[in-house]
Copies of this chain bind each other. A is one copy, B any other.
Amino acid sequence: MFEAPYLLFLGDAPDGLAAKMAQGIYDWRPEAAVGQLRMDGCNADMGITDMTIQEAVDAGVKTLVVGVVNRGGIISDAWISVLVEALEAGLDVASGLHNLLRDVPALVEAAEKSGQTLHDVRIPSVQYPIASGKKRTGKRCLAVGTDCSVGKMYTTLAIDREMKKQGLKSTFRATGQCGILIEGDGVPLDAVIADFMAGAVEYLTPDNSPDHWDLIEGQGSLYHASYSGVTMALIHGGQPDALILCHEPTRERMRGLPDYTLPSLEQLRDTALPLAQWVNPECKVVGVSVNTQHMSEDEALAYLKGIEEKMGIPAIDPFRQGASRLVEALSCL
């Protein structure tokens, strides 16, 4: 979709959190992030080389990636002049912001003049097909969660990293804007037209060699009243051979839905697995990935042990422990 290596644009990020997308790219694709560009007043820092646009071009950068959330939902004039300079210098510009690059006339004009491309990764750039439901070659693993934002992307990225480390064949398949910025490719599933959701997932995870794993980033939750339809499309379009259940045990209410508590991991398993088996009878739930950031090490380990005993499958926190036990479980399929 867009080319590495990247210059990470941190703009005037007031703090590190505002540059969360740049951090994600740096954490998961450090080899692609050759430099950062920080404007006056920027309080975020990836700890990589500060570069001007020209230095980035000289270093072989292909794409400036907007790695910062804009304040007030506006792409400020201060940003625009930097982005125009990047386009004029021969860089593409990629962004996952709600406010689209293509809606800023100065950027459209600069891109046209320079022949460079604006990549708004929140918006589909492809006419996806209707899903066919046909069996594809290769293996697929999908992360499903008890809620939104419980670590599904982190989990699939960690599995991908571990598989590559072990010399196994795998591809992280991004379905949200952060994942797409990290991978440089993917499907912004939340923004796809309803009829084409499952087809977009099929498009994202085509036939592959029999020993290759597509590691599909999940979205939403079957139990999240706002987004469950997106999750359903991932399950039927992804035709997973393996499901990983993701959970955040200290969360008391569904994200954005104060009237709802979270389902249990057992409920999630018993709901997701039959739905997945309808399109792939061989599908199995192979493991549990728990975000234990709000627990002490002891609490976390005890919690994970309890899950393993109850459910009979590996339960890990990939941030604390890495994903090797999930890779081991997947390798048995």
Contact = CB atoms under 8 A, between A and B. Distances in A.
A194 B230 contact: yes
A225 B237 contact: yes
A197 interface: yes
Given A133-B257, A259-B134, A194 B229 contact: yes
Contacts of A135: 259
**How many copies of this chain are found per oligomer?**
2
Contacts of A227: 194-195, 198
Nearest to A235: B228
A146 to B, nearest CB: 12
B198 A225 contact: yes
Given A131-B226, A236-B228, A194 B198 contact: no
Interface stretch (A24-32, A207-215, A273-281, A311-319): A273-281
**Residue among A130, A132, A191, A236 with the most chain B CB within 10 A?**
A236
B237 A233 contact: no
B192 A130 contact: no
Contacts of A134: 259
Interface residues of A, number: 41
Given A133-B259, A257-B133, A198 B271 contact: no
A251 B15 CA distance: 59
Interface string A294-308: 000000000000000
A191 to B, nearest CB: 6
Given A223-B278, A228-B233, A259-B134, A191 B193 contact: yes
B198 A229 contact: yes
A235 to B, nearest CB: 8
A194 B199 contact: no
A189 interface: yes
A56 interface: no
Contacts of A190: 193-195
A257 B235 CA distance: 16
A279 B275 CA distance: 18
A229 B225 contact: no
19 contacts: A130-B256, A132-B225, A132-B226, A133-B260, A135-B259, A190-B193, A190-B195, A191-B193, A192-B194, A198-B225, A199-B226, A222-B275, A225-B237, A225-B279, A226-B236, A228-B232, A228-B275, A229-B232, A231-B232
